Amino acid sequence: LETKERVPVIWMHGLECTCCSESFIRSAHPLVKDVVLSMISLDYDDTIMAAAGHQAEAILKETKEKYKGNYILAVEGNPPLNEDGMFCIDGGKPFVEKLKWMAEDAMAIIAWGACASWGCVQAAKPNPTQATPIDKVILDKPIIKVPGCPPIAEVMTGVVTFITTFGKLPELDRQGRPKMFYSQRIHDKCYRRPHFDAGQFVEEWDDEGARKGSCLYKMGCKGPTTYNACSTVRWNGGVSFPIQSGHGCIGCSEDGFWDNGSFYDRL
Ligand code: SF4
Ligand code: SF4
Ligand code: F3S
């Protein structure tokens, strides 16, 4: 890596909450400072760059021309398509136009989080703005989906590290997710699994089962149907994850979790 030129990254933001960025900047392995200062050249990012206005817009054009076929397009959020894209105007244009334009010459396209991958809460029924996942508007290129709301920091930097190190996309599953992080369910590696197998469940938030750390399935845990690395990689540098904090998984990396009863829907 030391002898390699840093790969230009354009990080665009559509309809989103910016917590994917918040997650990314907390990566501990590798440290995000090493990613940003040694592995990639983060040339454009609406939320953290110093440039603004025409100066910022010029970076997009310059990158597209100078690094044609050699830059990574990382997308946080999604384009709303209703009313000709008027619900997200970026640099004077509908975000969807800017997104498609930068996608044309990208080496790789990453969909960060549930927003870019699936739509997320802004696409919840009846989805008045027609918030749309990016693979529905970029049709001619493979897209690496890194779902989660947000995705785990080390999963995000792990995907970037793979692409910059090997110069190719990681192996993806049928839904476009990197197999190295999304091939197992939370339930497969959950430390509460012995309680599930033994039929020991939390039935109320303050009951004996809750105090003993029993399984959260009856409290609505979606771990059995959720593919993500939380029970192995964990969060905050490997310290914990939602279930370890006492709350069931809401399936935040699964398509449609916002409309499928994930929020406090108990058995
Ligand atoms: Fe925020 Fe979730 Fe969207 Fe990421 S996927 S920008 S955390 S709403
Ligand atoms: Fe499975 Fe959830 Fe129970 Fe863990 S807490 S064993 S993920 S149902
Ligand atoms: Fe999301 Fe479930 Fe992990 S809610 S953060 S996929 S444990």
Ligand 1 in contact with 76 (CB < 6 A)?
yes
**H or E stretch covering 243:** none
Per-residue confidence at 266, pLDDT binned at 50, 70, 90?
A: low
CA of 111 to the centre of ligand 3 (A): 17
Task: Looking at the CA of residue 148, tell me the nearest atom of ligand 3.
Answer: 1
Mean of pLDDT values over 170-181? 98
Mean of pLDDT values over 170-199? 98
CA end-to-end span of the chain, whole Å? 50
Per-residue confidence at 262, pLDDT binned at 50, 70, 90?
A: confident
Task: Collapse the DSSP code of 180 into the 3-class scheme (helix H, G, I; strand E, B; otherwise coil) and give the result.
Answer: helix
pLDDT of residue 264: 65
Upstream peptide bond of 151 is cis (omega within 30 degrees of 0):
no
ipTM of the complex: 0.98
Task: Looking at the CA of residue 19, tell me the nearest atom of ligand 1.
Answer: 7
66-69 contact pairs (CB < 8 A, 24+): 67/8, 67/105, 68/105, 69/105, 69/106, 69/107
CA distances, 162 to each of 11, 70, 170 (Å): 17, 15, 7
Instruction: Give the tens place of pLDDT for each residue, 210-247.
Output: 999 999 999 999 999 999 999 999 999 999 999 999 99
Per-residue confidence at 263, pLDDT binned at 50, 70, 90?
A: confident
Please report, rounded to a whole number, the percentage of residues in the chain having pLDDT higher than 70: 97
Ligand 3 in contact with 257 (CB < 6 A)?
no
pLDDT of residue 267: 54
Mean of pLDDT values over 192-213? 97
Per-residue confidence at 147, pLDDT binned at 50, 70, 90?
A: very high
